[in-house]
Structures are given as C-alpha cells and as structure tokens.
Amino acid sequence: MVFTHAIFGFFALKISWFESPYWGTFWGQFWVELIGGTISAFIFLFLVLYLLKPKIRIAPFLCRVLNSGNNHYIFKFVNRSFFPAHEIKVELYKIRKIPMGGGRFNNEHEQLTIKNGNISHIPHRPFWWWQNKIHHPHCVVVRSFDNLNEILQDDMNAILLRVSLKHGLTGLSTVVEQEYGNEGDIRNGKFKTGPKFENI
C-alpha cells in the first residue's frame, strides 16, 4: 500500500513539474531555439551552395571559321562567379533522338572531338566592370573540327556542350549544359573578346 502511494506520489510530482511555468518556459525556449537554429543552418547552407558554387554561362550559339579550307567550330563560356574555377572539363556530344513509339524518344549520345577540353584553372571575373577591358582570362573558347553543320542538318540530331568544373576554394562542383538544335545556332565568324556573346 505504501509502495502504491509512493508511485502515485512520484507521478503526481512529475505531472506538477511538467505543468509548472518553468517547464513551459524552458521547453518553449528550447523548441524556438531548435527550430530557429535549424532554419538558420538551412539558410546558411543554401547561401554557401548558391554563392560558392561555380557559375558559368555558355554562349547560346557557336561560331564557324573557315581555316585552310576546313571548317572549325568555336564554343565560348564565361566564368561568372567571383571565385576561380579548377578542373574544368569540356565535353561535346551528338544527341540522336531514337523514336520509341507513342511520341516518345530515347536520346543516344555519341561523343565528339573537342580541342583543349581539359583546363586546369580559370580566373574569377573582375570585381569591377572597368577592370581588364582588354584581357579577359575568365572567358574561354574551345574548338571542334567535326562537321557540325552536317550533324545539325538532320532534325533528329542535336549537339550538347557540357562543362563541368569545381570551385577553387570549397571544391564544390557544378555541371552546365547547352544544347544546339539546328543550323541556325551556327554563325559565321569569331566570338568577340570579353564576357558578352557577340560574333564578328
């Protein structure tokens, strides 16, 4: 009997402690701090991934240059982040759409040749627009000697340029792709210098 009274007394004490203002204040503050800290951590992580992840832009068109009777094709991309990029890898693919019936397609990738597709380092973009008006090391061009005009003459074909790179400080990586679907994406001439995508 005494034991039973002791058990009920213990639970009554615990219940009264849970219902005390101290308990409500402590756990209310605990949950507020926990939820606030979690949200802050997610926001910080998002900002780190967004700000420190490499950012590049690829020209929406490519240029064709006639050299010694042979065409070669130029692709351009620009490092848009305020940090240098490392371990840049540029790949070029021919994409062939394979009909599967019912209006569905599978993509068949065939790797094409690209010159200077492995780059060890690209500097960051200048912090001020008037810096390096003549020299633009954060702007890169690569070339291909495959007959891309012939590939794009077929409506079932496309060309995909894929650029993968890493952030110079954190090692965060990103992959950016640009697809060219018809011969209208090819312009005669060369790219102008600088970060803008214009041809001459």
Per-residue pLDDT of 154-192, as tens digits, reads 988 999 999 998 876 667 788 999 999 999 999 999 998
Same domain, 126 and 143: yes
Structure tokens at 164: 């993968």
pLDDT of 27: 62
Residues 9, 90, single domain; the answer is no
Residue 191: strand, helix, or coil: strand
If you average pLDDT over each of 64-78, 97-111, 123-137, which comes out highest? Answer: 64-78
Residue 14 lies in a domain: yes
pLDDT band at 13 (very low <50, low <70, confident <90, very high): very low
pLDDT given for residue 149 in this prediction? 92
Whether residues 117 and 82 share a domain: the answer is yes
The pLDDT of residue 196 is above 70:
yes
Domain span holding position 70: 56-188
The reply to whether 195 falls in a domain is: no
Q: Are residues 66 and 129 in the same domain?
A: yes
**Mean pLDDT within 94-99:** 87
Q: φ and ψ at 105, to 5 degrees?
A: -140, 150
pLDDT of residue 8: 42
Question: Can you give the length of the chain in residues?
Answer: 200
Average pLDDT of the residues in 136-144: 90
* Mean pLDDT on 5-11: 43
pLDDT of residue 76: 96
pLDDT band at 17 (very low <50, low <70, confident <90, very high): very low
Q: For residue 61, give the nearest of 189, 180, 192, 195 by alpha carbon.
A: 180
Residue 168 domain-assigned (yes or no)? yes
Q: Enumerate the H helices of the chain as residue ranges.
A: 2-18, 21-52, 148-152
The count of structural domains within the chain is: 2
In a domain, 194, yes or no: no
Give 116's DSSP letter. Answer: T
Going by the DSSP 8-state scheme, the letter that residue 196 receives in this structure is S
Q: What distance in Å separates the CA atoms of residue 163 and residue 156, rounded to the nearest whole number? A: 23
19-23, 36-40, 65-69, 191-195 — which is least confidently predicted?
A: 19-23
Q: Which two tokens stand for residue 11?
A: 């639970």
